[in-house]
Amino acid sequence: MLSTPLRFGSVILNALATADALCDQPPPPDPAWPAEGSTIAPSRAEALHAHFAGEEPIDPRPTAAEKREYNAFRKAHERWLSSKSPAKGKVPEFKFSSNDGWIVDAKESAIIAAAIERVLADEDKFELLCDILDVSRSGDKGVRDGLAKFQRFNARCAKGEGYTVD
């Protein structure tokens, strides 16, 4: 059986690679807070970030301009977390390489579900995956069961709004 989340992350990445469903392009740069050219001082920006994250109150209260600037940052950050692959029918590999809150949308969930289904249905691909993972015949049931669960999860998410990797 698979023992740690990192191990299953490796199974997912290798299964998607075996199905040729990953794009290995690096993520775009994360939007800066505060934005370049902002008049908000770094210490104030840090305090505002903590305040808007609900961590602590702030004094003086955020101005309307600070609220607008932070809302613009949040929207840019959400777009960044939703980054897409430039290759049609593929999902960015980086979304499964960290727990940074990457957003896997419904279309990407469908791509993942179909890719895992292809690996599970093709004995040669599944055997290749087990070889890559260095999993013996006695351990392949755990890999198969875990992938089947993740495939069903993605199939459900493809009918909804997707999910967040965190």
Residue 126 pLDDT: 95
Give me the phi and psi of 165, to 5 degrees please: -95, 105
CA separation for the pair 145, 116 (Å, rounded): 12
Q: What is the pLDDT of residue 1?
A: 36
pLDDT in the model for residue 63:
96
Positions of the chain with pLDDT under 50: 1-6
Q: Which of 152, 163, 117, 159 is nearest to 15 (CA)?
A: 117
